[in-house]
Amino acid sequence: MGDATGAYHIDLEGIQAYPQRYLRTFGFYCGHAAVASSEGWYHVDARGERSYLDTWDWCGNFQQDRCPVRDKHGEYHHIKPNGLVLEGGPHAYAGDFRERAAVVRGLDGLCRHVDLEGKLLNQRSFFDLDNFHKGFARARDHRGWFFINRDGEELLDNARFAEIEPFYNGQALVRMHSGERAVLSEEGTIMAIPEQSMAERDALLQEIAVSAWGPLAVRLGIQIGIHGGDPQFEIDVDSIKIVKDSWVELGLMDSSYKLTPLGTSLLPGGTWEKRFMYWTGPQLEPWLSTKSRLSTKGFIGRDFFSNVSSSPDLLELVHDVLNSYAEDDWTGIGSVLNLNKEATVVDVGGGHGALLKALGSTGGERILVDRPEVVSLLDATGITPYPCDFFSDKLPLGDVYILSRILHDWPDDACKTLLSRIPKSSSLIVIDRVANPTENGLLSLNMLLVSGGKERNKSEWQQLVNSVGWRISDEKSWSNHSIFFLRGD
């Protein structure tokens, strides 16, 4: 409470507990209360005496004898009642402890669980994360929300949801990406399906109906240079304002039309500028010409890679973008592939060589196979370029062949042709996604439209490789992809 003299605590009879005065006082937790004074923030005991000597920019409340605090640099730590700072910090944010663990957001922006000494509870990191509730915690990655246990292991068979609530007596309410809700058991069994309102369905359908506006607005903003680049064409001042307003709605600009931290990711020449121009340019065109690309006979259009090969600028954009995704996904993959250091490795359709670079320098030769116009852009020490059409030209000899995100581009017949051309005396590694309609159904449709490919489920992968004399001898996971280790029959 407080009066004209300042803020302080009172006892159960309404009498002041001590003579000290503060700017603000908060409740007692674990025998200590956070107070704000002209010096800063700290904790006091029931007599109003400081619990420790340090002063902070802000203090939370003690839970399980641990408390989050913020220093003068805006970074967070956890402390004990005696003021001792736990190891592991500083953090971008730190929360309360519950069930002997707390959530911290690292300086890299990712969330993790720490124990009562500030040490990592497990090695997992997430976009968002909650405290544990009865042994389980909500977590979110790029695929959506899910549950983990204290070891960071996922529940419900790695399923992802748009929203989830904590488990309540063994069951949890979730919202699917489709908008429908379900009550799930800890084993993932649907126990009930609450009704969805028509108003909510209408809102979801409307969101889908106009979902193309966002990326196309980003493309237009880039083209007229509101991100700081050179305009590709001129428009009038009133129209420029309207485009900028769309960027405000997207969170890319603030109300004064200054780029937000998110918007600065679109600076000229950067990865995200190129990615948006790629997805709303060459990758959009097949969607707008479906009648000339699909028929009762299947895919009948000219494949995407042949189309872009005729334009040097377009070819460079496409492979810069593909390489940026490959660098994101394949960094560190060598630890999982576990290849013989002396093996000759042939990366078929290797683009700019991101995967071969990720393997590191070893004694064996690294050969990159791709179309001549693609290989001509390669600038990588320690990699041997091998320009060819890998569907028809002779392939180089190797101990290990790798097909990373290649087969999903093509229909089954083309895939069988390529798989048949790789010698059975060598090892073959296929790195690709396993189809899940709730997560990559749109991506599968994109593959179909651009080159006649698709995302395949586990059974389809088995049938495809078995049909041409290969068998899957082992399977591992990496960056939301499956790694199939193949051997010849």
Q: Looking at the structure, do residues 322 and 387 belong to the same domain, yes or no?
A: yes
Q: Which domain holds residue 76?
A: 2-121
- Residue 83's Cβ-count burial label (10 Å; 0-12, 13-18, 19+) is middle
Q: Looking at the structure, do residues 6 and 89 belong to the same domain, yes or no?
A: yes
Q: Looking at the structure, do residues 259 and 338 belong to the same domain, yes or no?
A: no
Q: Identify whether the C-beta of residue 180 lies closer than 8 Å to the C-beta of residue 200.
A: no
Residue with tokens 């003068």: 72
HEC profile for 121-166? Answer: CCCCCECEECCCECCEEEEEECCEEEEECCCCCECHHHCCECEECC
Q: Identify whether the C-beta of residue 90 lies closer than 8 Å to the C-beta of residue 73.
A: yes
Q: Looking at the structure, do residues 356 and 269 belong to the same domain, yes or no?
A: no
CB count within 10 Å of CB 172 equals 23
Would you say residue 285 lies in a domain?
A: no
Q: How many angstroms separate the CA atoms of 437 and 440, rounded? A: 5
Q: How many angstroms separate the CA atoms of 188 and 156, rounded? A: 5
CATH number of the domain bearing residue 17: 2.40.128
Q: Looking at the structure, do residues 250 and 391 belong to the same domain, yes or no?
A: no
Would you say residue 358 lies in a domain?
A: yes
Q: Using DSSP bridges, classify how beta strands 67-70 and 58-59 pair: parallel, antiparallel or unpaired.
A: antiparallel
Q: Looking at the structure, do residues 116 and 65 belong to the same domain, yes or no?
A: yes
pLDDT in tens, the chain (489 residues): 678 899 999 988 889 999 999 999 999 999 999 999 999 999 999 999 999 999 999 999 999 999 999 999 999 999 999 999 999 999 999 999 999 999 999 999 999 999 999 999 999 999 999 999 999 999 999 999 999 999 999 988 888 999 999 999 999 999 998 889 999 998 889 999 999 999 999 999 999 999 999 999 999 999 999 999 999 999 999 999 999 999 999 999 999 999 999 999 999 999 999 999 999 999 999 999 999 999 998 999 888 998 898 899 999 999 999 999 999 999 999 999 989 889 999 999 999 999 999 988 777 899 999 999 999 888 878 899 999 999 999 999 999 999 999 999 999 999 999 999 999 999 999 999 999 888 889 999 999 999 999 999 999 999 999 999 999 999 999 998 999 999 997
| Of the residues 223, 246, 280, the one at which a domain ends | 280
Q: Looking at the structure, do residues 260 and 318 belong to the same domain, yes or no?
A: no
Q: Looking at the structure, do residues 78 and 222 belong to the same domain, yes or no?
A: no
Q: Looking at the structure, do residues 336 and 479 belong to the same domain, yes or no?
A: yes
Q: Looking at the structure, do residues 257 and 108 belong to the same domain, yes or no?
A: no
Burial letters 89-114, b for 16+ CB under 10 A, else e? bbbbbbbbbeeebbbbbeeeebbbbb
Q: Identify whether the C-beta of residue 10 lies closer than 8 Å to the C-beta of residue 1.
A: yes
- Going through 206-300 in order, the beta strands assigned E by DSSP cover 294-295, 298-299
Q: Looking at the structure, do residues 61 and 113 belong to the same domain, yes or no?
A: yes
Would you say residue 147 lies in a domain?
A: no
The residues, ordered by sequence, that sit 6+ positions from 289 with a Cβ below 8 Å of its Cβ are 301
Name residue 28's amino acid.
Answer: F
| Of the residues 98, 121, 144, the one at which a domain ends | 121
The residues, ordered by sequence, that sit 6+ positions from 325 with a Cβ below 8 Å of its Cβ are none
Enumerate helices (H) and strands (E) in the chain, giving the number of each. 13, 27
User: How many domains does the structure of the chain reveal?
Assistant: 3
| Of the residues 121, 156, 173, the one at which a domain ends | 121
Nearest 5°: the CA angle 477, 109, 29 is: 115
Q: How many angstroms separate the CA atoms of 463 and 162, rounded? A: 33
